[in-house]
Chain A
Amino acid sequence: MEYEAVIGLETHCQLKTKSKMFCGCANEFGADPNTNVCPVCLGMPGVLPVPNELALQLTALTGYLLNCEVPNFAKFDRKNYFYPDVCKDYQITQFDFPSTTTGYVDFEFGSKIERVRITRAHLEEDVGKNNHFDQHSGVDFNRAGVPLLEIVSEPDISSADMAYDYLNALKDILIYGGISDCDMEKGMVRCDVNISVRPKGATDLGTKIEIKNMNTFSGVRRAINYEVPRQIDTLESGGSLVQETRRWDDDAGITETMRSKEHAHDYRYFPEPDIMPLRPSEEWLAEVRSHIVELPLARKQRFIMDYSIPAQDAEVLVGNMPLGAFFEKAVDGSKNPKAVANWVINNLQARLVEAECTIDELKFGPEAIRELVEIIDCGAISNKGGQEVFNELFNNGGSPKDIVDARGLAQVSDSGELDKWCRDAIDTNPGPADDVRNGKENAINFLKGQVMKASRGKANPQIVGEKLLKLLKG
């Protein structure tokens, strides 16, 4: 029998705020244990949570970017469970009235645009981190209270690769919106996966199994690639699956039972009485909407359409947001977007990597690239001269025209001087000149080379060719 997988993802990502969700402590990775903490995020007696305004805004913005509804009523709830990294032994989250609901993400998968529906994106607080030592354990609460967005998808995903591409698309959207840096190395994104399998074409869902503890997208892909065949094999060999939560062991590359349905937690959710329900005003929402950005996929499609650049180039420019923004400014008013894209991608990007600097540190503005392309296109300088201009721009800044002047890079198109060089070349090289006259047109390249040499590269090669032909063949 042929099976199909039905997969939904819960993606947690840390919001890009300066301070934590409910207190003023820094939202910062890598500090010494328990240094970014205060009575509030340590769950000391008597403290109260005060929601971070920016986190609320970023959550609503995420809703808009994921095509969600942003309801005019939302609230926080307490999720009760005992664990050492949960400082209050409940986590403040959103249960039945989340800040955003019912949206979707469109993304490229293979040659098609796929859509994964979003159930909700809700706001909660991150928990601390348990560290285990030889004889004891410790908890670092620096992470406790960092604003965390949980984005829950519908089970619209059918393969590990699709999950991988969805996650990358989601990540790009969040980075574009300034919502999260999505830095995997810093644990800013973590995923849970819900997987079931069923006979291909069946409408009923199979037994749902949740896999926890994946903190890379490739981990998610590997986990799905392990879990789907495992479930199919179990069914094929006559076994049955039970609803359970499994843990992904990244080193071993396997999933293993964490807890079964009977041992599932009863989180005893109830409304968080310390925080008033959220009733975003139209004015507040309008302010949030003013931060809506173009989504990566739409941007890519627009680049291809408006600038007639290859999909591959568009992808590079969309994948690197600052580079794309630079390109957009450079290409504004240019007659040759393709060439601008080439300079930005092939020259600028490469040099930035080489010099280990960012686009903000550049010594020249985007208009310089547009000007450079214009100067080349009008024949004022050669491509080679263009390279020299670009190097000078990159190293010392300035304007391309000034550089051309200062370095004497302008091509000579003036007919008096060119005439002289051409006549000299014909006179001193009668052999090749005769060859051309006798129809061996390739021989002209030799003469051209002689002119270029005489002009020390400044002669405009196109005009030289025309002039030589005219002189030789009348």
Chain B
Amino acid sequence: MILHELTIAELTAKLASKEVSSREAMHSCLDRIDAVDDRINAFISIDREDALGQAEAADVVLGQGANQNDQPLLGVPISLKDIFCVKNQPANCASKILGDFRSPYDGTVVQKLKEAGAVVFGRVNMDEFAMGSSTENSAFGRTCNPWDLDRVPGGSSGGCAAAVVAQECFGSIGTDTGGSIRQPSALCGCVGIKPTYGRVSRFGVIAFASSLDQVGPMARNVRDTATLLGAIAGHDSKDSTSVPIEVPDYVGGLDVNLEGIKLGLPKEFLGAGIDPEVQSVFEAALKQYEALGAEIQEVSLPHTEYGVATYYILATAEASANLARFDGIRYGDRVEGNDPFSLYCNTRGKGFGDEVKRRIILGTYVLSSGYYDAYYIRAQKVRSLIKQDFDQALSKVDALITPTVPYTAFKAGEKTDDPLQMYLSDIFTISCNLTGTCGVSLPCGFTSNPKLPVGLQLLGKPFGEQELLKIAYAYEQSTPWHKERVKL
């Protein structure tokens, strides 16, 4: 048995039977990180002592006879994107600007993970302030795709995906504002879900675009993803946008029977621009679904082509305000100036990376007097139209099915000079954030040369995570892809 290769379900069973301890599980992750992370660079920092302390505390609870039925993640090491606030731990958002900032509080997701018994450890790399699709925009260096170190892991939760696939942790929690969970899950070959907006609390998550951000888990298979989602979902009085809807038993709802399930194929997603190999892997997945009893029908999302533009107006507008607080006055790295204005300019000029600056400038511009109506207001209107498209399509089918990304992992540096090309890698994932609905990405095969994972995306109804996970699970269980382990 290679401990770090286990799924969460396998690990919790072994923890319950005392075959392994949480400390051993945590150690296996730390050893693995020591062995591979100089190549992957998924982790920005790790508080080993704290991690082992939590694991030992879990072992005490396990020793008293508790198991995963009491706490679904009891003793399971889970890593966190560098966007979550954990008390007394750094939270840099992969930016220089936060300096040696340490959060004075635990965010809700962290609290929930701890309540579920998880050993919450590590600060996992990302694009700075979650702005990017390749985890290259990080003040802590780029993260590499475990399948090909020259390639990107996707982003912005690229560190999460890479860490899960490189078996440096048993699961990871990321955030998804335009595809930031699903796109790296697809490019690295793991499962990742972006829940419905309001399903998981955003309290304690450093905001990028408040109306689009949503927290979600990434893991090696659908069941583990369901377990993690069940642990972090739920209403939170500290987040006014979280929704008081009961959290179903996601794991208990997993089922391989797809009889009567209808999947919608959005015709607008299938135009030019999809890599032929990705296309053929995707078509095979469609056939597999049909073989499992699902019915595939074409649906239309007529405003799809406006998704990226709409997103980059709204997301940057919100970001320009959300990132204003990083001003050097109260925390983070300050660069002094002769007056407050020059202090701001110096601090922010030095602290933010190029992509973050680009988006702040864009967001400031679209909100400016004289441009607001033409950009922000119009984008809000288009957002409503895209929402209507989804409502209509999802009234006819149980879920939409698309490739997650039009291509596989690209080479590092390939798109860094062409922001627009980078933005287009989110073309299939972005609408789901604009509509606030849920979406999952799961492995559906590999390209042959080089061997790179391809992701399948399922888009569901509001608060339809259970149905979505079920549809994903049935496919996963009938295919071998989730069992593929990268060789490092």
Query: Do A and B interact?
Result: yes
Asked whether any CB of chain B lies closer than 8 Å to the CB of A42, the reply is yes
**Given A139-B329, A276-B240; A84-B340 close (CB under 8 Å):** yes
Q: Does A82 contact B (CB under 8 A)?
A: yes
Residues 319 to 364 of chain B near chain A (Cβ within 8 Å): 320-321, 324-327, 329-331, 340-341, 344, 364
Counting chain A CB atoms within 10 Å of each CB, the highest count among B104, B107, B239, B325 belongs to B325
Q: Is A49 an interface residue (CB 8 A)?
A: yes
Residues of A within 8 A of B321 (CB): 78, 80, 88-90, 268, 270
The complex places the Cα of A356 from the Cα of B324 at a distance, in Å, of 50
Contact status of A46 and B103, CB under 8 A, knowing A80-B320, A80-B367, A268-B367: yes
Please, how many angstroms separate the alpha-carbon atoms of A90 and B340 in the complex? 15
Q: Is the CB of A46 within 8 A of B241?
A: no
Which B residues lie within 8 Å of A89 (CB)?
321, 324-325, 327
Taking a contact as CB atoms under 8 Å apart, the answer to whether A83 and B104 are in contact is no
Q: In this assembly, does B318 line the interface, its C-beta being within 8 Å of a C-beta of chain A? A: yes
Q: Mark A28-63, 1 if CB is under 8 A from B, else 0.
A: 000000000001001111111111000000000000
Contact A45-B101, Cβ < 8 Å, known A268-B368, A270-B376, A275-B240:
yes
Which one of A43, A49, A266 contacts B325 once the chains associate, using CB atoms below 8 Å? A43
* A39 and B210 form a contact (CB under 8 A): no
Stretch of B153-161, B200-208, B269-277, B477-485 contacting A (4+ beta carbons < 8 Å): B200-208
Q: Does B85 contact A (CB under 8 A)?
A: yes
The answer to whether A44 touches B367, judged by C-beta atoms less than 8 angstroms apart, is no
Over the window 256-283 of chain A, the binary record of Cβ atoms lying under 8 Å from chain B Cβ atoms (1 yes, 0 no) is 0000000000101110011110000000
- Residues of A with C-beta under 8 A to B211: 273
Q: How far is the CA of A210 from the CA of B210 in the complex (A)?
A: 34
Cα A404 to Cα B202 in complex, Å, equals 71
CA A39 to CA B209, docked complex, whole Å: 19
- Docked CA distance A444–B400 (Å): 111
Find B324's partner among A46, A88, A139, A266 (CB 8 Å cutoff): A88
- Do A273 and B340 form a contact, CB below 8 Å, given A44-B105, A48-B202? no
Q: Which of A48, A82, A84, A87 contacts B238 (CB 8 A)?
A: A48
B285-327 residues with Cβ-Cβ distance < 8 A to A are 317-318, 320-321, 324-327
Question: CB of B91 within 8 A of chain A?
Answer: yes
Within 8 A of A (CB), among B224-272: 237-241
State whether the Cβ of B372 lies closer than 8 Å to any Cβ in chain A: yes
Residue contact B105 to A39, C-beta cutoff 8 Å: yes
Contact of B331 with A266 in the complex, beta carbons under 8 Å: no
Measured in the bound complex, the distance between the Cα atoms of B107 and A39 in whole Å is 11
Bound form: Cα–Cα A106–B329 in Å: 45
Contacts of B239 in A (CB 8 A): 48, 50, 274
Residues of A contacting B324 in the complex (Cβ-Cβ under 8 angstroms): 80, 82, 88-90
Once bound together, how far apart are the Cα atoms of A268 and B316, in whole Å? 13
Specify the chain A residue showing the minimal Cβ separation from B205: A46
Q: Are A270 and B240 in contact (CB under 8 A)?
A: no
CB distance from A298 to the nearest CB of B (A): 37
With the chains together, A78 CA to B238 CA distance in Å?
19
A434 to B256, CA, bound (A): 127
Once the chains bind, are B341 and A82 in contact (CB under 8 Å)? yes
Residues from chain A with Cβ under 8 Å of B107 in the complex: 46
Q: How far is the CB of B360 from chain A (nearest CB, A)?
A: 11
Q: Is the CB of B162 closer than 8 A to any CB of chain A?
A: no
Bound Cα distance from A43 to B340, whole angstroms: 18
Q: Are A268 and B364 in contact (CB under 8 A)?
A: yes
B85 to chain A, nearest CB (A): 4
Q: How far is the CB of A149 from chain B (nearest CB, A)?
A: 20
Cα–Cα distance between A82 and B238 once the two chains are bound (Å)? 26
Which range holds the interface residue count of chain B?
35 or more
Q: Which residue of A lies closest to B213 (CB)?
A: A273
B369 within 8 A of A: yes
- Specify which chain B residues have a CB less than 8 angstroms from the CB of A87 in the assembled complex: 325, 330
Interface pair A266/B340, CB less than 8 Å apart: no
List the A side residues contacting B369 at CB < 8 Å: 266, 268
Residues in A whose Cβ lies below 8 Å from that of B401: none
Q: Are A273 and B98 in contact (CB under 8 A)?
A: no
The complex places the Cα of A23 from the Cα of B340 at a distance, in Å, of: 27
B344 touches A82 (CB 8 A): yes
Within 8 A of A (CB), among B105-150: 105, 107
Q: How far is the CB of B329 from chain A (nearest CB, A)?
A: 5
Please give, as numbers and ranges, the residues of chain B lying within 8 Å of A275 by CB-CB distance: 240-241
Closest residue of B by beta carbon distance from A272: B210
**Once bound together, how far apart are the Cα atoms of A84 and B342, in whole Å?**
12
Nearest-Cβ distance from residue B364 to partner chain A, whole angstroms: 7
**In the assembly, what is the distance between CA of A378 and CA of B105, in Å?**
72
Is B93 located at the chain interface by the 8 A CB criterion? yes
Interface pair B317/A50, CB less than 8 Å apart: no
Q: Which residues on A sit within 8 Å (CB–CB) of B364?
A: 268
Chain B nearest Cβ from A274, distance in angstroms: 5
B241 in contact with A274 (CB, 8 Å): yes
Q: A51 → chain B, closest Cβ, in Å?
A: 7
Name the distance in Å between B107's Cβ and chain A's nearest Cβ: 6
Residues of A within 8 A of B91 (CB): 45-46
Q: Nearest chain B CB to A373's CB is how many angstroms away?
A: 55
Distance of B370 from chain A, by nearest CB (Å): 9
A49→B210 CA distance, assembly (Å): 12
Complexed CA–CA distance, A45 and B209 (Å): 13
B207 neighbours in A (Cβ, 8 Å): 46, 274
Q: How far is the CA of A273 from the CA of B317 in the complex (A)?
A: 11
Q: Which chain A residues (134-159) contact chain B, with CB distance < 8 Å?
A: 139
CB neighbors of B among A442-471 (8 A): none
Contacts of A139 in B (CB 8 A): 329-330
A49 partner residues in chain B, CB cutoff 8 A: 240
**Nearest CB on B from A262, distance (A):** 13
A268: chain B residues at CB < 8 Å are 320-321, 364, 367-369, 372
Q: Is the CB of B237 within 8 A of A50?
A: yes
Which residue on B lies nearest to A90, using beta carbons?
B321
**List of B residues within 8 angstroms of A88 by Cβ:** 321, 324-325
Give residues in B with beta carbon < 8 Å to A: 84-85, 91, 93, 98, 101, 103-105, 107, 202-207, 209-211, 237-241, 317-318, 320-321, 324-327, 329-331, 340-341, 344, 364, 367-369, 372, 376
Closest 5 CB pairs of A and B: A89-B324, A268-B367, A273-B211, A273-B210, A46-B85
Task: Show the binding face of A for B, using Cβ within 8 Å.
Answer: 39, 42-51, 78, 80, 82-84, 87-90, 139, 266, 268-270, 273-276
Contact sample, A vs B, 21 pairs, CB 8 Å cutoff: A43-B330, A44-B331, A46-B205, A48-B202, A48-B239, A50-B238, A50-B239, A51-B240, A80-B324, A82-B327, A82-B340, A83-B340, A87-B330, A266-B369, A268-B321, A268-B364, A268-B368, A268-B372, A273-B209, A273-B210, A275-B240
13 further A-B pairs in the complex, CB-CB below 8 A; given A44-B330, A268-B369: A45-B91, A45-B101, A46-B84, A47-B203, A50-B239, A82-B327, A90-B321, A90-B324, A270-B318, A270-B367, A273-B318, A274-B239, A274-B241
